[in-house]
Structure 1
Amino acid sequence: MTFPRNKKTWSLLATLSVIGSLSLAYAQQGQGVVSSYMPVDITESFASIMARMKAAKPQIEKAHSDLLQARYDLSDKPARDATMSQGKPLQEGVRVKLSSGATWEQLASMTPEMIRDENLFPKGFYPLPHPNHPEGGMVFPKFEIDEIKKQEGRDLTRFDLDFDIPDHFLPEFPAPIYLTTRPDLGDVSKGKLVTIDNYYEIFNGILNPKQIEGLRLLLTPFPQQQFNQTEDRRTEKASRGVACLDCHQNGSTNGATHLVGDIRPQEFRHRIETPVLRGVNIQRLFGSQRALKTVEDFTEFEQRAAYFDGDPVIATKKGVNILERGSQVHFMAEFQEILDFPPAPKLNIYGKLDPAKASPAELRGQDVFFGKAQCSACHTPPYYTDNLMHNLQTERFYKPELINGLMAVGDGSIKTFPLRGVKDSPPYMHDGRLLTLEDTVEFFNLVQGVKLTPTEKQDLVQFLRAL
């Protein structure tokens, strides 16, 4: 069927877009993909858009909250013997809930086909939807919003949506900053969130002029899909935009989330959690599909396309910032490439445990990591990445399902993220579906079919905490 493109049709598509039902702009009347583009001309007033979306917010957030409650134990249960680099307690224990009557041992004894046919794959192992998947866009945790507003007077609050993961599952804030160029200084941030207001006083005398300029650009807000000057923004007041380090706070992560820009239609787009920038100097693949080969490529791509859902037409309308490759992009990359992993005093120069410093449980966990669990097939020392992509074929375990606007059909190929400093960057997986290291061990034990014992799982967690 050919869909008529008259004025009335485009008006309908524009209205659907601002509601957030982007998938309907791609597929009309069940006829499949019609267009990869979002409507540019918005015919509804901003006041009307905001009023309608504010009214819809409670129901949208309840649906997502119900999903999280059904999947996870979200209670605050800090570990008594494990913290992040600056002292925030790690959350411990398996938080993914099982179907009634099921056990982890039972699942580990079943084939993927049996788990799929009996619908026993834990719901917390399914892809995690965005807090409002049909709408999407950047969403920030409240502690980041509050500090940016305090320092800069810039408001990252969305009127239509709040962040979803509880703070106790998120990285410490502000995160420490370690530099490959000055390991003797330890945390150079001195407990402050680095912003456009304080970066110079913190880093003058530590960075060279190019790096300082690169940091300034990383802290400068530029227009983005939801944070801009247009009538289809998602902030009450016209916004200057977002900065790179609004998500990558202090070169780490605050858990902020959005959707990848390189997949259509909307329901097939993956939620993506902000990855840390620590250790980008040893990484060779960037971007949600890892098609970018340098951090310079990624920096430029983010500003030109990813900020605007991969739509260059929308980017032009909202005020895309075109960076100059030979100076600005280079300066930004030069700063990013000196962000170091947090110290790991129990590791030797080869990235493995020093027997004189490690506990018996950590040493046993290292043996499991390099042996039965087969973790090292992808996560090779000293940084615990092979700089490749791997497909876990999670779709073996469940049938395709539409979950709060997300079509769960598997994850495809995923980059091997470095595990150095992994305890400092929960939640885990590219979409943040795994809240703790214990959840992560259970996930890979099941998906890989390695059948670890309860003791081996506990020891493996102890080893991961030491990286």
Structure 2
Amino acid sequence: MDRISCSALLVWLLGAGGITNAQPLPGPAAPASSYAPVRIEEPFDQTQRRLTQAKPAVMQAHREYLAERYDLTDRPAADVTMSGGKPVQQGVRVRLRPGVTWESLAALSPGEIRAQDLWPAGFRPLPHPNHPEGGMLFPPAVIAELQRQEQRDLARFDLDFDLPDHFLPEFPAPIFLTTRADLGDVSRGQVVTLENYFGLFNGLLNPKQLEGLRLLLTPFPQQQFNATDDRRSVRPSRGVACFDCHTNGHTNAATHLAGDARPQAFRHRVDTPSLRGVNIQQIFGSQRALKSVEDFTEFEQRGAYFDGDPVIATKKGVNVLDRGSQVQAMAEMQALFDFPPAPKLDVLGRLDPQKAAPAELRGQELFFGKAQCVACHAPPYYTDNTMHDLRTGRFFAPVMVRGAMLTTDGPIKTFPLRGIKDSPPYLHDGRLLTLADTVEFFNLILGTRLTADEKTDLEAFLRTL
């Protein structure tokens, strides 16, 4: 049979002939890759329709998972607010296994906790709402305000932000400047954007700082928000700005996945850190240990905006900043954001006995003593400007949950504790919703075996910072 006859027979067999469900022979499995696909095979309208239809089920599954980890009810403390007046949530929200108490858990060794699988789910890494997908997610208040002021839409058609508003920093947050401490909050109760920054800060900042602020407020292309067909916004997007996450030089708890690790399951969720107190810090990024705020600023726009993938960044529109002028101006502006006032602290960062309550003074004694907090968080700003590995893997075996490999965390930056009540949720990925959760977490991590009363006193001290 000649070649033409063979071809005709094959066409008949695979088409109108007897092999009606023929499939191509399987090829070799695709190798793991560090790179995101550059060429998108599916038309954008199909991607949008598919992911929009899947969104309700994805978010419902994630909400159910969060409810398994936490008590998410709104229970504000009666006697403490953030610097702008938003109530602070009280109480431990991490759920324990039935029959387990915090006291019984603290009596066990890390090995016993791991062997009995008792480490609370809420103390394990917090997955992204859709970890295989990842990407920047903004709280509803942020999306609404930028839509109102700039007609710029940061909503995603495939995912919504996951944590309830009462566990987030106040919005808008007050702005305190190191150069004008006499003025107090200079935000005038507004969210600072390109629409209003000049009117708010002309006369308070020098020209270089004003230019730095303008750049911090300017949107540039990002992985999920760009003008290509590989985006998660309905319309082509101008992108995101630094202050879309760091609203008013603070944080709004917008979340993302760190671009440092591969494969996707091992990437860590990132809770946006505050820019308050940048001037006294020596390393930047929760786990990256970048050595200057200039490095951090440039890295964010060149790398973190695009999941650490410079190939995809070229496609989507990377913003290459000039180091000597633009980056430096942005860094100088960031260094002006100060911690909020702490009227009970003296110039050395300790409580003034004439102003502090007895519980707060007892908490300070615990902080510098039995609780061992000062080993990492030294006054006056309550940081040692280094990194520590908490070795959380002592307490639980790695497990895959919702597409995320929940495993040990590795080294984490020591964030300053000044103004800590203004910056929930806590830890680098936001897994600890309240200060009470944070006290319980470190009581187990450090093995300090605090009593219930001591935990309450320690939290009272943290609120004064």
Which residue of 259, 272, 288 maps to 1:290?
288
Per-residue CA shift, 1:366-418, capped at 9, x if unaligned? 00000000000000000000001000101111111001111011100000000
CA distance in 1, matches of 2:281, 2:211: 23
Which residue of 312, 335, 339 maps to 1:314?
312
* 1:115-194 equivalent positions in 2, closer than 5 A: 115-194=113-192
Residues 260 and 288, structure 1, Cα contact 8 Å, conserved in 2: no
Gaps of 5+ in 2: 1-25
- Report the equivalent of 1:222: 220
With over 3 angstroms needed to count, the CA separation of the structure-2 counterparts of 1:175 and 1:29, relative to structure 1, is farther
Residues 370 and 376, structure 1, Cα contact 8 Å, conserved in 2: yes
- What amino acid sits opposite 1:143 in the alignment? A
Does 1:279 find its partner at 2:291? no
CA distance in 1, matches of 2:287, 2:125: 16
With over 3 angstroms needed to count, the CA separation of the structure-2 counterparts of 1:115 and 1:30, relative to structure 1, is farther
CA distance in 2, matches of 1:409, 1:171: 27
Does 1:112 find its partner at 2:128? no
Residues 426 and 435, structure 1, Cα contact 8 Å, conserved in 2: yes
Residues 346 and 358, structure 1, Cα contact 8 Å, conserved in 2: yes
Q: What is the Cα deviation at residue 103 of structure 1?
A: 0.2
Which residue of 239, 242, 253 maps to 1:241?
239
- Report the equivalent of 2:257: 259
TM-score, scaled relative to structure 1: 0.93
CA distance in 2, matches of 1:30, 1:120: 41
Which residue of 354, 359, 378 maps to 1:361?
359
Q: Which structure: larger Rg?
A: 2
Question: 3-state SS of the aligned residue for 1:407?
Answer: strand
- Report the equivalent of 2:14: none
Runs of 4 or more above 3 Å deviation: 28-33
Residues 33 and 265, structure 1, Cα contact 8 Å, conserved in 2: no
Q: What is the Cα deviation at residue 232 of structure 1?
A: 1.3
CA distance in 2, matches of 1:117, 1:81: 40
Question: 3-state SS of the aligned residue for 1:356?
Answer: coil
CA RMSD of aligned residues (A): 1.3
- Report the equivalent of 2:325: 327
Question: 3-state SS of the aligned residue for 1:300?
Answer: helix
Q: What is the Cα deviation at residue 290 of structure 1?
A: 2.8
CA distance in 1, matches of 2:218, 2:31: 37
Q: What is the Cα deviation at residue 31 of structure 1?
A: 7.8
Per-residue CA shift, 1:30-58, capped at 9, x if unaligned? 98962111110111100000000011111
- Report the equivalent of 2:464: 466
CA distance in 2, matches of 1:150, 1:58: 26
CA distance in 2, matches of 1:56, 1:422: 37
Gaps of 5+ in 1: 1-27
- Report the equivalent of 1:18: none
Q: What is the Cα deviation at residue 288 of structure 1?
A: 4.0
Per-residue CA shift, 1:233-263, capped at 9, x if unaligned? 0000000000000000000000100000111
CA distance in 2, matches of 1:183, 1:29: 66
Q: What is the Cα deviation at residue 228 of structure 1?
A: 0.2
Residues 174 and 186, structure 2, Cα contact 8 Å, conserved in 1: yes
CA distance in 2, matches of 1:65, 1:397: 25
CA distance in 2, matches of 1:138, 1:221: 14
- Identity %, equivalent residues: 68
CA distance in 1, matches of 2:289, 2:389: 15
TM-score, scaled relative to structure 2: 0.93
- Report the equivalent of 2:303: 305
Q: What is the Cα deviation at residue 291 of structure 1?
A: 3.3
* 1:37-48 equivalent positions in 2, closer than 5 A: 37-48=35-46
Question: 3-state SS of the aligned residue for 2:261?
Answer: coil
Question: 3-state SS of the aligned residue for 2:233?
Answer: coil
